[in-house]
Structure 1
């Protein structure tokens, strides 16, 4: 599926941005322009089932492999930089060798969906479809008002069947075997997706790992300045 894209800037270098579950390109509303100011042409996708991209026929067509194939079909190969958040980090890793960026950044990537009561449950995400502005603000007290509004709009557009497409991967080992290109992993503090033992494992596989202190899962919204500081030397 060819995805809807949004572009900032017109520089010679290309940066690719891939959002997480329930979001769309608007999650990068500050990051995209900031990279454009650094000389990039920034391309952000809406994953299938999100934003203005098409919808799949059902949950079976919302697998990580389907999302990865969409990235390859939509985005240019050989970009200078590719950034993926959460689900976006998972599918970017699966598309990486075909996309061939020079560098990759994975922001609190969903490379292991835990099972159990405290793990990944599609139903909990689906409940987010009806969250009010006040509930979103309660979960994200430090977000600017524009991010709260954007989150509510993005969730309303989101096809919740995409959450059910991940159920078969709960508990699976989806950790990358190696850093195929120079790769940075930025982590929330604490990260529920990449705990300390997993962070050490990734470092042993060639990833640079940096934690953004006191940031939540959506690091670039929870602490924009901290996120951009963590990218120094990589952008």
Structure 2
């Protein structure tokens, strides 16, 4: 599936941005322009089932493999930098060998979902679609008003069936055995997706791991400055 994209900047270097579940390219509203100011041409996708991209016929069409194939069909090979958040980190890892960026950054990646999420077959994510602005703001007290506006808009157009497909697919087989390209893992504090033991194993496998102190799962919205600082030497 050819995905909808948004582009910032016109630099010679290319940066790719892949969002998390329930979101779309608008989650990168500050990151995209910041990278463009550093000389990148930044390309952000809407994953299938999100934003203005197409929808799968059923939940089975939302497997990580399908997401990864979409990235390869849509994005240029050999970019200078690729960044994936949460689901985007999972999908980027599945496509990174074919996309062959020079560097990859995985932001609180969803390489292994908590057991309660898998057991509920994605229902926890699907229920989140109906949350009002007040509860979303309470869950994300550090977000700016514009981020809350975007979150409500992206949830409205998100296909909740994608959560069921993801819960069916995530498991140990998608935990990266090696970085493939030089790779940074940026973690929330604490991360509910990557435990301290997981982080230790990632370091042993050759990943660099950095934690943004005090930041929640959507690090680039919780602490934009901290997020960009964590990416120094990688961007």
- TM bin, normalised by shorter chain, reads over 0.9
TM-score of the two chains, using structure 1 as the length reference: 0.97
Question: Which residue in the other structure is 1:68 paired with?
Answer: 68
Matches within 5 A, 1:173-184: 173-184=173-184
Q: Quote the Cα distance in structure 2 between the aligned partners of 1:80 and 1:92.
A: 14
Matches within 5 A, 1:1-235: 1-116=1-116, 121-235=121-235
Contact 2:79–2:101 (Cα < 8 Å) also in 1: yes
Deviation at 1:101, TM superposition (A): 0.2
Q: Give SS of 1:130's match.
A: coil
Deviation at 1:172, TM superposition (A): 3.4
- What residue ranges of structure 1 are gaps of 5+ in the alignment? none
- After superposition, give the CA deviation of every residue in 1:159-184 in whole Å (9 maximum; x if it has no partner): 00000101223543421010111100
- What residue ranges of structure 2 are gaps of 5+ in the alignment? none
Q: Quote the Cα distance in structure 1 between the aligned partners of 2:169 and 2:39.
A: 38
Q: Quote the Cα distance in structure 1 between the aligned partners of 2:106 and 2:167.
A: 22
TM-score of the two chains, using structure 2 as the length reference: 0.97
Contact 2:111–2:171 (Cα < 8 Å) also in 1: no
Deviation at 1:131, TM superposition (A): 1.3
- After superposition, give the CA deviation of every residue in 1:24-76 in whole Å (9 maximum; x if it has no partner): 00000000000000000000000000000000000000000000000000000
- After superposition, give the CA deviation of every residue in 1:173-204 in whole Å (9 maximum; x if it has no partner): 42101011110000000011100000010001
Contact 1:113–1:172 (Cα < 8 Å) also in 2: no
Q: Quote the Cα distance in structure 2 between the aligned partners of 1:126 and 1:189.
A: 25
Q: Quote the Cα distance in structure 1 between the aligned partners of 2:71 and 2:174.
A: 18
Residues 171 and 71 of structure 1, relative CA distance in 2, 3 Å threshold: closer
Deviation at 1:120, TM superposition (A): 6.7
Q: Which runs of 4+ in 1 moved over 6 A?
A: 117-120
